[in-house]
């Protein structure tokens, strides 16, 4: 079984920019999110979590596209995963 090695430096930078620049989050929330991620304190069973709000789904899709855009040479598998998750067949373009 192949394990994920974690985000690349470019993906971390894109994630930090995404969270830091998000207008719907106050400064304390941004800091809380980034601190928890940097300490690898993520929700249990993260793969099983479902996003149920329209804004959450929108943030998720936008975030995936930003992570893909941050990758200078994404693998075909990564592109296909983002396309599947976002419903955008041109996610890499």
For 91, half-sphere exposure in the C-beta direction (CA atoms, 13 angstrom radius) is: 26
Instruction: Answer for the pair 37, 15: CB distance below 8 angstroms, yes or no.
Output: yes
| Residue boundaries of the structural domains of the chain | 9-43+51-86
The predicted model scores a pTM of 0.71
Amino acid 58: pLDDT: 93
Amino acid 72: pLDDT: 84
Task: For residue range 16-66, list pLDDT tens digits in order.
Answer: 999 999 999 999 999 999 999 889 888 788 778 888 999 999 999 998 998
Has residue 5 got a pLDDT over 70? no
User: Mind giving me the DSSP string for 69-83?
Assistant: HH-SS--HHHHHHHH
């Amino acid at each position: 079984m192949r394990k994920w090695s974690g985000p690349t430096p470019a993906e971390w930078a894109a994630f930090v920019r995404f969270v830091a620049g998000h207008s719907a989050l106050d400064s304390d929330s941004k800091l809380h999110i980034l601190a928890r991620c940097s300490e690898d304190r993520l929700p249990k069973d993260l793969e099983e979590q479902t996003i149920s709000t329209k804004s959450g789904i929108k943030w998720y899709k936008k975030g995936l596209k930003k992570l893909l855009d941050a990758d200078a040479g994404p693998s075909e598998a990564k592109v296909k995963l983002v396309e599947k998750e976002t419903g955008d067949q041109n996610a890499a373009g």
